[in-house]
Amino acid sequence: MSWQNFCDHSDTYKLVRSRNNQSYDVVMNVVSLAKRYRQARQSIMEDTHDVDANCDGPDLDFVYADVDSYQNEIAELYSYTEFSEFQMNVKAFEDQMELYDLPPNWQKQDAASQRSIVMKLIDQLEVSNRAFRMQAARCILYLAQGCWAEVQSDEEQHQNTRENVIVLYQLGVFSSFIDLLNMEIESACSPDIVAVKITNVTLVDSTDIRVILSVLYIITETIRNEREKASEDYKDMAEAFVQEINSPLPDGELLAVKLLGMITRFCSGAAPQFPMKKVVLLLWKVSLLGLGGMDVLKNLKNEYRIKVGLEPITEDTLEVTKCMRASSPPATATDILENQYPKKNFKRSLMKQRFLDEPEQIDMELTGNEGNPNSNGGGATGNNGSGNNGEDELSQYYRPFDDPSSSTTATASTTSTANPNNQPNLTQPPAPVAPVQITARLPWTPKVRQKDIDQFLDISRNKFIGYSLIGDHESLAGLPQPIHEGFNTLQRHMYTSLADMQIKKEEDIARNPISTHEDEIKLTPAEVLYQAILPNLPQYMIALLKVLLAASPTSKSKTESINIMADVLPKKMPLTATQSTKLTVDMGRHKEIIVKAVSAIILLYLKHFKINHVYQFEFMSQHLVFANCIPLVLKFFNQTITEYVNTKNSIPLLDFPSCVIGEQPDLSGDSFVYGGEMSDKPYSWRNVFSCINLLRILNKLIKWKHSRVMMLVVFKSAPILKKTLKVRHAMMQLYVLKLLKMQTKYLGRQWRKSNMKTMSAIYSKVRHRLNDDWAFGNDLESRPWDFQAEECTLRACVDRFNLRRYPEATQKCGAGGGGNNGTAAQNAENAQQSNMNVTGNGNNGGVGETNGYGGNGGGGGVNGGANAHNQQLHDYGVEGGFPSDEILTHSDFAFFGHSGWWDRKVELTDYFKANYAIWLEEEVYNSQTDWDAL
């Protein structure tokens, strides 16, 4: 080094020393930046879903609805292996027309002749000859399918179906086919058939019953679709049909209960030839039409709330999530740092503690009029100033949402319509927005429960005054002014649910059973269904979950106790590669349709029962939990969920009616094309629908149940749920984030620290509950307590409710009125006993699966054994499981006519008899009670 250079360095050194404070700030900034860089890299390494390439790309344009399009719903009724049977329907129709000396063309017949033919076919359905009877059934099926051999387009076929269904239903075909279904059920479950175990069940074994179920399904789905479209010519007929399916059949059973019974028999092995896909599809559509879909649920909820004096709900989850934007984490730590720490002066923004959206959207709020470095508009966007930065930050999480209760609705809707995708406008600057508009963009109105307000007052009183008032919800004497303001804020956001009012009413009845007036039970469709399924509800829930488990893509075929592929597998196995590929696609499609239908059924029942009465919902929920629904759903999501959502097991050329209308292409060699290559959508509608349904079911089972939240923690659900966030759909991500929010307080500080992106997503998208310390876990509810007692208390309340309102049905449920292996109470008990096991056979109680969760493990198998549970109960300090009639609790005295105790003979010991009089004299008669002191 030269002397001149040394002098220059010396001068520089003196200059640095003279500015010691500035030098220290620079060094600290460099150290802080390096530390944050390491933290960012560590966070990226630990948060597995943040570096996945599948997170990139546009949001899914999936729109959640009750059902898919009518054409898809009808096409999913048929398996690809049933293709040859379509020609059998045409042959049956032609033979019948020849028998009637009529031309084999339905469209050439006038209306009177068509009705006469249908009447003759109905009469033929009642003959004793099975072959002759089923020929008429196939002929009717051909008419319900729209006489596809006589048309040249799908539209003509649909119009024929629409017209023929009117004629078929008006002439009583639906009732006649219900009678045929009863005959098939009795025949399949007769002692002679049951004695001979059917092995290797194939498509041939369910030929007749599939014809019957297909006709019932087409009529039901067509009427449902026309009713949804408000068709005038279907209006009166649709109302009559809904009334019919909500009324008992001549044998006293509801159609939905009869179908649930078929599922139970199938799972028990009594009828392995039942075509499960068609059964669950028909059950789903019958329940959806009878109970009502999302619009009916929304109207019923507001109607019931107004009836009990509550305000109607103005926020709708489906509408709010349409305005949300799916989250997508950045790809690398370098991108995070470049966007988070640009080489310019900046000030921190509260909303910027997150790594949620696309890299080009992650920026810092710059001072002055500096432009957004990642904006497509460059300086043009920056010229708008920093006044809109807060709103731009919010728009990265969700699109503008119009709050119905806000006075700025008109302005918000205009903005949303003009720019629906929230894209930057490069031609003209956006209009200035009032600050209040930012609050209107929040996706949810914060809520607080009365319980939270009471806890806030209790803590405040003990802190500032040193006393507590039990049962006082309003007194603020002696509390400082900030506490008054906080209390007023909580009061403004207090939300009272319909369930809270129903529980309060039940508590009043239990406390004063004679003086408390109980309203007359209104026989709504949900009430009728609940009364019908109550005696055998545990078996029905176990059967549905067994079918769901067998159809789950994560289940192993060798461990399945039931064969749901009976109505897919042909009698002759495929010989060529094309046939094998087609069968593989068909089997995958078959499973997806079953998952879709079963998840929709369970969710529909849960939602309707919760609105009708919360204890009906809790009764069904408990039996789902006892049957291992929670680990089953987690097991379903323990897969590469993005692949499942994008998988399209479909061949459009083989879907009905394309497979029978027009010239048919050759499906061999290079002409064999998958549905995924022909579809314009990058996802499978039914798979996204199934995933959302299962997440909603999991949320309903776990919400406000801390013992069940702990099950999520025990089963290590956090990494499973985080992988689901890869699917870029706002509604699906919302329900995943809700599940993660429930358990964050139990996951520990280190998990929260290394998953700040997920925490920020929860903060920005999930509803805020005031006073909810979910992000820190400091409140009392995060501490361990007797989870067993919580479930026991809930079950005692539900049993008290059922025994008071439905004494006969409840006694049947407890006395084994189900015809399954053991009593209903035993089934529920056995199912509950396996909700945290790892091994078992799953034959009786609960859903069995010897496989766990793979690498995520944690005791998450879905099974039905009892040995491991006995150890679990011993750890909990409860040896005998949940309380049944064998355990007398205080709540047992709250209902009258409990045949389990009042009719029971109790043997008293000789010691008790000898000393009873002395005890009575000393402890009762001579004991003085100071009631004032009490």
How high is the pLDDT of residue 789?
84
- Supply the DSSP string of 309-327, one letter for each residue: T-PPP---HHHHHHHB---
How high is the pLDDT of residue 909?
86
Of 700, 734, 702, whose CA–CA distance to 717 is shortest? 702
- Supply the DSSP string of 633-653, one letter for each residue: HHHHHSS-HHHHHH-----GG
Q: For the beta carbon of residue 770, count every other beta carbon within 10 angstroms.
A: 17
Pick the range with the lowest mean pLDDT from 33-42, 168-177, 814-823, 853-862.
853-862
Of 713, 730, 521, 710, whose CA–CA distance to 616 is shortest? 521
d(CA 429, CA 375): 14
Over residues 676-727, the pLDDT tens digits come to: 445 668 899 999 999 999 999 999 999 999 889 999 999 999 999 999 999 9
Instruction: Give me the residue label for tokens 């690498």.
Output: 855
Q: For the beta carbon of residue 358, count every other beta carbon within 10 angstroms.
A: 18
Q: Does 106 have pLDDT greater than 60?
A: yes
| Longest Cα separation, the chain | 121
User: Where exactly are the structural domains of the chain?
Assistant: 70-322+522-661+681-791+794-800, 450-494
Over residues 653-681, the pLDDT tens digits come to: 888 988 888 777 666 544 455 544 456 68
Please tell me what DSSP assigns to residue 512: S
How high is the pLDDT of residue 355?
38
- Which residue type sits at 70? Y
3-state SS, residue 19: coil
CA distances for 781 relative to 452, 456, 494, 776, 786, angstroms: 12, 14, 20, 12, 12
Q: Mean pLDDT across the stretch 875-879?
A: 36
- Which residue type sits at 478? G
Confidence bin at 850 (pLDDT 50/70/90)? very low
Q: Does 593 have pLDDT greater than 60?
A: yes
3-state SS, residue 773: coil
Over residues 437-452, the pLDDT tens digits come to: 333 466 888 999 998 9
3-state SS, residue 366: strand
Of 722, 747, 744, whose CA–CA distance to 733 is shortest? 722
The fold adopted by the segment(s) 70-322+522-661+681-791+794-800 is: Leucine-rich Repeat Variant (1.25.10)
Which has more confidence, 194 or 381?
Answer: 194
| Residues above pLDDT 90, as percent of the chain | 43
Highest mean pLDDT among 260-269, 354-363, 372-381, 876-885: 260-269
d(CA 139, CA 124): 11
- Cis bond leading into 657, ω under 30°? yes
Over residues 376-428, the pLDDT tens digits come to: 333 333 333 333 434 344 444 444 444 444 433 333 333 333 333 333 343 34
How high is the pLDDT of residue 562?
85
Q: Specify whether the CB–CB gap between 849 and 842 falls below 8 A.
A: yes
Q: Does 460 have pLDDT greater than 60?
A: yes
Which has more confidence, 403 or 38?
Answer: 38
Pick the range with the lowest mean pLDDT from 91-95, 486-490, 762-766, 788-792.
788-792
Looking at every residue in the chain, the average pLDDT score rounds to 75
- Supply the DSSP string of 243-312, one letter for each residue: HHHTS--TTS--HHHHHHHHHHHHHHTS-TTS-HHHHHHHHHHHHHHHH--HHHHHHHHHHHHHHTT-PP
d(CA 163, CA 160): 5
How high is the pLDDT of residue 339?
52
d(CA 220, CA 169): 10
Which has more confidence, 878 or 257?
Answer: 257
Confidence bin at 468 (pLDDT 50/70/90)? confident
Q: Does 280 have pLDDT greater than 60?
A: yes
d(CA 469, CA 458): 7
d(CA 258, CA 247): 12
Give the angle 541-542-547 at the CA atoms, nearest 5°. 100
Of 481, 438, 398, whose CA–CA distance to 733 is shortest? 398
Q: For the beta carbon of residue 63, count every other beta carbon within 10 angstroms.
A: 10
Instruction: Give me the residue label for tokens 């099950």.
Output: 711
How high is the pLDDT of residue 628?
94
Which two three-digit tokens encode residue 867?
Answer: 């040995």
How high is the pLDDT of residue 473?
85
Q: Mean pLDDT across the stretch 56-60?
A: 69
Q: Does 570 have pLDDT greater than 70?
A: yes
Q: Specify whether the CB–CB gap between 835 and 846 falls below 8 A.
A: yes
- Supply the DSSP string of 824-890, one letter for each residue: HHHHHHHHHTTTT-S----SSSS---S---GGG-SS------SHHHHHHHHHHT-SS-S--TTS--G
Half-sphere exposure of 343 (CA within 13 A, CB side): 0
Which residues partner with 324 through β-bridges?
Answer: 398
d(CA 793, CA 226): 46
Which has more confidence, 114 or 32?
Answer: 114
Residue 335 burial by Cβ neighbours in a 10 Å radius (0-12, 13-18, 19+): middle
- Supply the DSSP string of 541-556, one letter for each residue: HHHHHHHHHHH-TTS-
Q: Specify whether the CB–CB gap between 173 and 118 falls below 8 A.
A: yes
Q: Does 739 have pLDDT greater than 90?
A: yes
Which two three-digit tokens encode residue 512?
Answer: 């004063």
Which residues partner with 346 through β-bridges?
Answer: 366
- Which residue type sits at 218? I
Highest mean pLDDT among 313-322, 328-337, 917-926: 313-322
Q: Specify whether the CB–CB gap between 231 and 511 falls below 8 A.
A: no
Contacts 24+ apart (CB under 8 A), 313-316: 314/403, 314/404, 314/405, 315/404, 315/444, 315/445
- Supply the DSSP string of 702-755, one letter for each residue: HTT-HHHHHHHHHTTHHHHHHHHTTS--HHHHHHHHHHHHHHHHHH-HHHHHHT
Length of the chain in residues, anyone?
934
Q: Specify whether the CB–CB gap between 640 and 132 falls below 8 A.
A: no
Over residues 496-525, the pLDDT tens digits come to: 999 999 999 999 999 988 888 888 899 999
- Supply the DSSP string of 777-835, one letter for each residue: --SGGGS---HHHHHHHHHHHHHHHHHHH-HHHHHHHHHTTT-SSS-HHHHHHHHHTTT
How high is the pLDDT of residue 791?
87
d(CA 721, CA 727): 11
Q: Mean pLDDT across the stretch 777-803?
A: 78
Rounded-to-10 torsion of CA 128, 130, 135, 138: 110
How high is the pLDDT of residue 703?
93
Pick the range with the lowest mean pLDDT from 54-58, 742-746, 770-774.
54-58
How high is the pLDDT of residue 278?
96
Q: Does 164 have pLDDT greater than 50?
A: yes
